[in-house]
Structure 1
Amino acid sequence: MPTPAAPSTSTSSSSPRAAAHKVPRSKPPPALHLVAGGLGGMAGAVVTAPFDVVKTRLQSDLFARVAESHSRTGIRALLWNFVDTGKILRDVYKYEGASALLKGLGPTLAGAVPARSINFFVYGNGKAMFADTFNHGKENTAVHLAAAATAGVATAAATNPIWVVKTDMQLRQQERDAAKSSTPTPRRPPPPPAPKPHQQVFSHSFRSLSSPPSAMQGPPPRPTSYSTAVQIMRTQGVRGFYRGLSASLLGVTEGTIQWSLYEQFKRMVRADNGGGGGGEGGGGDASWRVSAAAGGAKLVATVITYPHEVVRTRLRQPIPPGGAARYTSLVQSFRLVVREEGWRALYGGMSAHLMRVIPNAAAMFTVYEFLLSVADTSQAARIDGENEVVVRE
């Protein structure tokens, strides 16, 4: 005689009904990508601000003209860049003060926060849109590439004026020092000796990495973001704020490579972590793995596409008063740098850049994924509570 299966029948009959009424889990709200990306960009910019100052100066031809006398070849030249970075950090701190290591941080934050917000917003929502439209809702490498390229173009076009102001601020003091040292002084009788001031103010002219900096009679004026923007508008017009945009658009390839590699590395992290997780980032236990994935993706993308960074900095250099810009277009800048300084100049400042962007990317993506994970966990808890109510009913 068959055994009654009433309990199992009751369970099986209630499960489909409950499953049919369960509240489905939805994707993160679009605004979450905006907020998480902005907070991540802020964290990364503050942590790595000193390296950004050094990178900008090393990319400038003001340092390149000086460094010709210290030229090295082969792998030794690349490794020596890390020594140069340390020396410049030391000299900037010693002769210009600790605040000089944060020079341009205001425009950097003003650029990094909206730039990362726009980039993460467009990418996070763009990959969902491309997947739903062209690949039946499934993500793949082509979807990641399309979303990353779209995000890069939108970010470059929206934030280029901010980066022009930041670069101008970081290089204007070096332009002033170079002009001062090159201006001939008329012969005059030597003045009577003046009493030695209590403290002498110096400014690093980068005449060499080991020689002492030139003395100045007083503290140099400190340009602000507002005064720099006004100066650019008066002398160059609106077009002046879009110097280097062509190189920024070329740099979209870096972001595209970075996002694609990051998605691949993140997938490997999830597989290595047993697929565990919560949220986009694979849970809090794998935060260091997310950081490693972000840093590794940024390292590969930067090494491949770095020359555009140098050309972009040259295009954004301050134009001397009454003079003409030496770098006028993307192709002309590439040719001029290679002809006058050699192909190695296209990698000037890469050591400082790597020391900045790798921890920057690690911090930024960790904060971004953490916030997505927190939002996803909160949403999952809310939906599970609603589903439990449905099952009981």
Structure 2
Amino acid sequence: MSDALINGLAGAGGGIIAQLITYPLQTVNTRQQTERDPKKSKRKLGTIERMCQVANQEGWQHLYGGLKPSLIGTAASQGVYYYFYQIFRNKAEAAALDKLKKGTGDGSVGMLSSLVVAALSGCVNVLLTNPIWVVVTRMQTHTKASTGQKTFENPSVALDEAIVAAVEPPPYGTTHAMQELYDEAGILGFWKGVFPTLIMVSNPSIQFMLYETLLKKLKARRASRNKGTVGVTAFEIFLLGAVAKLGATVVTYPVLVLKSRLQAKQVTGGDKRHHYKGTLDAMMKMIQYEGLAGFYKGMGTKIVQSVLAAAVLFTIKEELVKGVRLLVKKDSNVINVVRSASR
């Protein structure tokens, strides 16, 4: 099994577990990002208050709206990202060693090279998985209030049927979200927000650059103090992942809000302030009607969710990689022993 495949599968597994743990926070954060009420007098609910509000008014299941496609998207995104990241990383390490042989460099991958590797991996990931995340955003921002009430042209329809239809709208599932998106914008609608999403590639790029840099420094310090021992504990990886994600989130959060606005269901009638024709139009309307503060809606929730998710992902991913490599090594040893005995 190749190292890239091991990292891809481990990243997918870690991403799924992190997603399951932090999904309600992600749903609340997406709703905060897509709120378009410019009234400043309205009291802003905190993260816990908002979660309780959704649970009381819509049911706990709405905190997990879009979970199934999200898990598929997470597995696909993390798998694709880590697979290509390891491939590009291997090439960067080989190039660094070639430079060392030629008398330049120290043989290690620098910060710029790490940034480029992460950016390339992110671009491949975005282009392949963006349709999944558009559907997930639609499902996370869907509320009972946003479901159009059924109208009856035939007056002979039973009153109780009309009441049931109004109170209990049909379930809003993945197929419904996909059909709604296709009716609204055609096949290209599944790539809504792809440009700000490509810009958001800088988030994991910055995250991985910080993570690799901090990990490298920690190993170097430990090696100098402990005579060559460079082992890193799971808790230390947890902290490094959290710090790296915190820095990346603070820098790129406004672009994340813009992406969510474009991917959420568009308001086609009524107040044109809430209808975005594209990335630039969304930016201008947000600045005009909400000010710069609009680009930071729900940032506190996002920091908690993303930092926790990243820390869990890094920890589980690294442990899975270690476990798989150990199993592969044991299998190789067993095969070698069998071959030697048969000779």
Measured against the shorter chain, the TM-score band is 0.7 to 0.9
Identity of aligned residues (%): 26
1:333-387 deviation digits (Å, cap 9, x = unpaired): 2221111101011000111111211110011111111111123334555677869
Kept in 2, the 8 Å contact 1:153–1:249? The answer is: yes
2:268 corresponds to 1:295:
no
> Match of 2:29?
55
Kept in 1, the 8 Å contact 2:241–2:310? The answer is: yes
Where does 1:353-364 land on structure 2 (aligned, <5 Å)? Answer: 353-364=302-313
Q: CA shift at 1:143, angstroms? A: 2.3
> Match of 1:70?
42
Q: Which amino acid aligns with 1:70?
A: K
> Match of 2:152?
none
> Match of 1:205?
none
Where does 1:112-191 land on structure 2 (aligned, <5 Å)? Answer: 112-133=74-95, 136=98, 138-173=108-143, 176=146
Secondary structure at the aligned position of 2:77 is classed as helix
Q: 2:56 aligns with which of 94, 100, 105?
A: 94
> Cα distance 1:165–1:154, how it changes in 2: closer, same or farther (>3 A)?
same
Secondary structure at the aligned position of 2:167 is classed as coil
Q: 2:251 aligns with which of 281, 304, 320?
A: 304
> Match of 1:74?
none
What do you get for the CA RMSD once the two structures are aligned? 3.0
Where does 1:40-51 land on structure 2 (aligned, <5 Å)? Answer: 40-51=14-25
Q: 1:219 aligns with which of 146, 168, 171?
A: 168
Q: Which amino acid aligns with 1:365?
A: F
Kept in 1, the 8 Å contact 2:206–2:248? The answer is: yes
2:327 corresponds to 1:373:
no
Kept in 2, the 8 Å contact 1:39–1:113? The answer is: yes
Say which structure is richer in helix.
Answer: 2
* 1: CA distance, partners of 2:197 / 2:318: 26
Q: CA shift at 1:173, angstroms? A: 2.1
Q: Structure 2 stretches of 5 or more lacking a match?
A: 99-106, 150-162
* 2: CA distance, partners of 1:125 / 1:305: 26
* 1: CA distance, partners of 2:127 / 2:324: 30
Q: CA shift at 1:90, angstroms? A: 1.2
Higher-Rg structure is 1
Q: CA shift at 1:92, angstroms? A: 1.2
Kept in 1, the 8 Å contact 2:3–2:86? The answer is: no
Q: 1:241 aligns with which of 176, 190, 196?
A: 190
Q: Structure 1 stretches of 5 or more lacking a match?
A: 1-26, 72-80, 181-199, 202-215
> Cα distance 1:351–1:221, how it changes in 2: closer, same or farther (>3 A)?
farther
What TM-score, normalized to structure 2? Answer: 0.82
2:2 corresponds to 1:32:
no
> Cα distance 1:97–1:172, how it changes in 2: closer, same or farther (>3 A)?
closer
> Cα distance 1:365–1:235, how it changes in 2: closer, same or farther (>3 A)?
same
Paired residue total: 313
* 2: CA distance, partners of 1:175 / 1:229: 19
> Cα distance 1:168–1:379, how it changes in 2: closer, same or farther (>3 A)?
closer
Kept in 2, the 8 Å contact 1:131–1:143? The answer is: no
* 2: CA distance, partners of 1:107 / 1:85: 23
Where does 1:310-325 land on structure 2 (aligned, <5 Å)? Answer: 310-320=257-267
* 2: CA distance, partners of 1:251 / 1:293: 21
Kept in 1, the 8 Å contact 2:266–2:276? The answer is: no
Where does 1:98-113 land on structure 2 (aligned, <5 Å)? Answer: 98-113=60-75
Kept in 2, the 8 Å contact 1:28–1:376? The answer is: no
> Cα distance 1:173–1:98, how it changes in 2: closer, same or farther (>3 A)?
closer
Q: CA shift at 1:94, angstroms? A: 1.8
The 10-residue stretch of structure 1 (313-322 or 101-110) with the greater mean CA deviation from structure 2: 313-322
Secondary structure at the aligned position of 1:65 is classed as coil
